[in-house]
Amino acid sequence: MLRMIGRILEIAGDSKPRIILGIVFNFFKTVSMAMMLLAVFLVFEHLEALTPDVIYQALWIIIVSVCGRFLFQWLMDISMSAKGFDMFRDYRLAVGEKLKGAPMGYFSEQRLGTIQSILTSTVVELEQYSMMAIMDITGGVSMAVVIIVMMAFYSLPIALLSLAGLIIGLFVLHVIQKRAAIHTVKVQAAQENLVTESLEYIRGIAVLRAFLQDRGGEGAVYRAFEDRRQAAYDQEHAAAGVMKLYSLVFKLTSCALLFLATALYLTGAFPLSYCLMFLVSAFLVYAELEVMGDGAYLARKVNNELDRLETVTDIPSLDRTARELRAVSSDIEMKEVSFAYDSRTVIDHVSLKVPQGTSCAIVGPSGSGKTTLCNLIARFWDVQEGEVLVGGQNVKDCTADSLLSQISMVFQNVYLFHDTVENNIRFGNPDASHEQVVEAAKRACCHEFITALPEGYDTIVGEGGSTLSGGERQRISIARAILKNAPIVILDEATSSVDPENEHVLLTAIYELTRGKTLIAIAHRLSTVRKADQILVVDKGKIVQKGTHAQLVQEDGIYRKFLRLRSESIGWQL
Ligand SMILES: Nc1ncnc2c1ncn2[C@@H]1O[C@H](COP(=O)(O)OP(=O)(O)OP(=O)(O)O)[C@@H](O)[C@H]1O
């Protein structure tokens, strides 16, 4: 339990002093509550000759006790209650920052489920329970300590018996926590699986429908829901059993205390007033300790949630040893680069040079490694062998932010955020004015269709851009890149989503984006390839040909075959 409090304080950041203050107020609240016993004791002591003076004294003690309790409760609430929410808001933001610096390989489907489940359910549970657990535990412990110390002043055997009850109770709590740990881990695993299955189901819903496989998809999700339900049920069931045992320990200790206090009174060890006071005290101590049982159960839960939290706290960062990129030019170079996803090598000793202001078209069969090459330049992954240089600086030495400030990327699968069209374009440059956004949209040939939308630039785009056509999404992403105005453009040309009559609009947009920039394009159009200053033909992770269109068509190599296959439309994309 103490470990849980320590761990919360460790991640509390700026909230730490307020939480410690809350614990101190909780202690004073307990002392105020315990004062009530003094009033009871005073009355019991003068039971045979009760005078108005004694009654007034007792009343004053009760008033002070009640006021103290409310005052310290209020102080504790304002210091602590909202802190869980503040702490974990800061935590979520910190995780967001870390995710930005993680290599793309980190984001596997399974891990996305884990991250999502941690940032939602785990953090929500911590927000709700962490402060509650701290209050219950510190309250219960303070009350037990204060009252047992008070008892010790009047009768050592009674205090020792209460202490024995407390120790046995704490042992049972320990057992409860162990059981809770097993079940909490099972519930968390079931929750992660549920999130992963639900995400997959929602993402793949169109495919499931198209192939009339609804039942298959629902089956996996249904099983995940069922597993989650069973895990939660088992957890509650196990907790309920041991919590009864925990209560039983205190009920039995109360009986033993009743027996001992009566026996000591009958043997003349202390007066009747003491005997009555001990019975009332025992009731108070154990009532608080029973509450502490809930706190301890929560503490175990919180501890497990904190363990899970560590899995995202340990997000690998590409930036650990990196510095700001100080590119003197926008030259791009790869020297003997090799790269493997896990153990499968997909880029094999590749060297290339794209001088500043020139264009380079990458062509090759599907799966040859074109996208991977581009991703290595943007340092979405780190190369295993060789070097990638941007502006003469090894990208491994650059922070992700400073490197990506030099690069505009236009992906084939454009992702737009659930926000206005304007904000989606402004993503390229958050400081841009409305006029600059419109200017970029005009250059990317999307002003016309944007103004025809119901709310114009203020129209909210569905998540992922689902309310726009593929071509419209692509042009918005080009406007975004135009606004960013980075010296390097990496472009994955669309193979689909552009009908012939709109193609010239898109090409105009691309021309506006790439004019005067260093361009690397995964090219699918003959026009782009022909115009490129150099063409790289990639096959099985190697550059098999290099040169201009005019040079390559002269060679009896793979490029010529490529053009022929293209005209026959078999597999190759150009
Ligand atoms: N995240 C990943 N994890 C494991 N393997 C991957 C991953 N991404 C791509 N690959 C594999 O690496 C190889 C190269 O993929 P890449 O996407 O770079 O090819 P490409 O030439 O761009 O293909 P396409 O033209 O179809 O987009 C492929 O065999 C692919 O299956």
Residues forming beta bridges with residue 96, ordered by sequence position = none
Residue 87 inside a domain? The answer is: yes
Do 354 and 406 sit in the same domain of this protein? yes
For β-strands 385-390 and 393-394, DSSP reports them as antiparallel
Rounded to 5 degrees, φ, ψ at 490 are -115, 120
Q: How many angstroms separate the CA atoms of 25 and 105, rounded?
A: 47
- The tokens 């060789």 sit on which residue? 386
Cβ atoms within 10 Å, residue 232: 15
SS3 393: strand
**Cβ of 70: how many Cβ atoms within 10 Å?**
12
Do 412 and 487 fall into the same domain?
yes
| Domain contains 166 | yes
237 and 298 housed in the same domain: yes
Is position 52 within any domain? no
* Shared domain check, 467 and 428: yes
Residue 391, sorted as left (phi over 0), alpha (psi -120 to 50) or beta, turns out to be left
Same-domain status, 406 and 530: yes
Q: Are 390 and 550 in contact (CB under 8 A)?
A: no
Radius of gyration of the chain (CA): 35
Residues 415 and 462 in one domain: yes
Helix or strand run (H / E) with residue 410: strand 407-410
Residue ranges making up the domain that contains 152: 82-313
Angle at 34 between CA 29 and CA 39, to 5 degrees: 125
| Residue 46 belongs to a domain | no
Residues 438 and 544 grouped into a single domain: yes
How far is ligand 1, taken at its centre, from the CA of residue 372, in Å? 6
Angle of helix 16-45 relative to helix 272-313, nearest 10 degrees, comes to 170
Nearest CA residue ID for atom 28, ligand 1: 367
Whether 336 and 306 map to the same domain: the answer is no
Residue 361 sits in a domain of what CATH number? Answer: 3.40.50.300
Structure ipTM: 0.97
Last residue of a domain, one of 313, 344, 368: 313
Residues of the chain with pLDDT under 70: 1-2, 81-84, 104-113, 180, 206-218, 312-314, 318-325, 327-328, 463-466, 494-503, 565-574
For residue range 338-385, what is the model confidence (pLDDT) as tens digits? 999 878 889 999 999 999 999 999 988 888 888 899 989 988 888 889
Residue where one domain finishes, among candidates 285, 313, 341 = 313
**Does residue 484 contact residue 443 with C-beta atoms inside 8 Å?**
no
Please give the distance, rounded to the nearest whole angstrom, from the Cα atom of residue 260 to the centre of ligand 1.
78
Shared-domain flag, residues 132 and 199? yes
Whether the CB of 346 sits within 6 Å of ligand 1: yes
Tokens of 517: 């920039």
**Number of Cα atoms under 13 Å in the Cβ half of residue 258:** 8
> Measured from the CB, is residue 371 less than 6 Å from ligand 1?
yes
Q: Is the CB of 107 under 6 A from ligand 1?
A: no
| CATH code of residue 93 | 1.20.1560.10
pLDDT at 574 (0 to 100):
45
330 Cβ inside 6 Å of ligand 1: no
Residue 341 and residue 308 share a domain? no
534-539 and 488-492 strand pairing = unpaired
| Within a domain: 383 | yes
Query: Would 423 be classed as within a structural domain?
Result: yes
Cβ neighbours around 129 below 10 Å, total: 19
Residue carrying structure tokens 């304002």 = 78
Q: What is the pLDDT of residue 318?
A: 67
Residue 42 inside a domain? The answer is no
| 30 Cβ closer than 6 Å to some ligand 1 atom | no
Cα-to-centroid distance, 104 and ligand 1 (Å): 13
Whose C-alpha lies nearest to ligand 1, atom 26? Answer: 366
Ligand 1 centroid from CA 207, angstroms: 21
Question: Last residue of some domain: 281, 313, 345?
Answer: 313
Residue 153, in any domain of the structure? yes
The alpha carbon of 367 and the centre of ligand 1 are apart by a number of angstroms equal to 5
Q: What is the pLDDT of residues 540-555, one digit of tens each?
A: 889 999 998 888 888 8
Measured CA to CA, the distance from residue 202 to residue 190 in angstroms comes to 18
Question: Ligand 1 pocket, 368 CB below 6 A?
Answer: yes
Ligand 1 atom nearest the C-alpha of 375 is: 18
What's the pLDDT score for residue 569? 47
Residues 237 and 130 in one domain: yes
Task: Report the separation in Å between the CA atom of 368 and the middle of ligand 1, taken as the mean of its atom positions.
Answer: 7
User: Rounded to whole angstroms, how far apart are CA atoms 173 and 180?
Assistant: 10
Is 23 in contact with 30 (CB distance < 8 Å)? Answer: no
Domain count along the chain: 2
Do residue 232 and residue 130 come from a single domain?
Answer: yes
**Per-residue pLDDT at 534:** 93
